[in-house]
Amino acid sequence: MPGADTGAVSTPETFREIADVLSRGPALALTGAGMSTDSGIPDYRGPDGTRRVTPMHLSEFVGSSAARRRYWARSYVGWRRFSAARPNRAHELVTHLQERGQVGGVITQNVDGLHQAAGSTGVVELHGSLAEVVCLACGAREARAALDERMAQRNPGFDADSDEIRPDGDVRLEEVDVEAFEAPLCLVCGSDMLKPDVVFFGGSVDKPLVEHCFALTEAAPSLLVLGSSLQVMSGLRFVRRAAKLGTPVVIITRGRTRGDDLATHRVDGSLDTSLDALVRASAQVG
C-alpha cells in the first residue's frame, strides 16, 4: 500500500523487499538529475528541493536573437565539460539490473545520454537530448558535435570560461563574453532559430511521447524511481498513474520527493551505495 515504507532509514531488509518486487518482473525505471551528479553534472535543486539556478525559459529563448546568442555562448563553453562526462557507477548498475532482467525500459528526464553510454537499452529521453539540434524555423536537424565545430570556426579565440555547469549544458558567463560571441545559423535556411532538441523550462513534452510513457507505466509490474525529486509534473504524473493502478512504486534518491506519499518503498540515500545494496539483495532473492 502506498506510504507503507517511506522512512529515511534503509536496512538490508528494505533492499530485500525491493529485490522481491523486482523479481516479479522487470521494473520500469524513471530517472532524474540525481543519476548524473556523480558524473560531474549537478542537478538544479538542493537537498531541500529548492531550485539553485533557473534555466532559460522557452519564451525568452524564442523571443529574441540576443537571448539565443546568450544561450549559445554559454552552451558553447559548457559543452566542453558536459560532453566529457562519463557514466558513473549508478548508470552501470542500472544496466546490470537490466541484464539480470530486473529492470526493463528506462524513462529518463536527463538529456545527457549517459544511460545509453553505460549500455542501457530501451531508453526513452523524456526531455530530449543535447546531442541533437533543431531549427525552429525550418525543422532542419544537426548533430550538436557538428554545430560545436561550426561555432568554433565562427568564434576563433573565444576563450571565455566558467567554473559552473548545469544539467542542460548551460553555464554562467559575463555579459562582455556573451557580446563577443557570434551565434550559429541554420545551414538550411540561415535562421538563428537553432535550439537544442530538449524541452526547455516552460516548454512541454510532446503528447505522443507522454502517452507512450503512460503505456509503459501501465504495462510495468513496478516503477523504480532513481535520482528524481519529482518536483515537476513531467515525471510525477507517471508515479501517480502507477500508484492509482496499485503498481508498486520504489523511490531511491537523496532528500524528499513529491512522490513520497505514493511510494511503497522509499530509500533516502546515494544511488551508487543503494543500488549496490539492491544488486546484492537481488542475488540472494533470485
Active site residue 96: no
Among 57, 127, 212, 265, the one annotated catalytic: 127
Alpha-carbon span 45 to 232, nearest angstrom? 12
CA-closest candidate to residue 181, choices 80, 83, 78, 71:
71
> Do 51 and 285 contact (CB within 8 A), yes or no?
no
How far is CA 32 from its chain centroid? 4
Q: Residue 145 is placed in which grid cell? A: 558535435
Q: Is 213 annotated for ligand binding?
A: no
Q: Is 135 annotated for ligand binding?
A: yes
SS (H, E, C) 172-239: CCCHHHHHCCCCCCCCCCCCCCEEEEECCECCCCCHHHHHHHHHHHHHCCCEEEECCCCCCHHHHHHH
Alpha-carbon span 221 to 183, nearest angstrom? 47
Binding-site residue ranges: 135, 138, 186, 189
Which residues carry a binding-site annotation for Zn(2+)?
A: 135, 138, 186, 189
Catalytic positions are 127
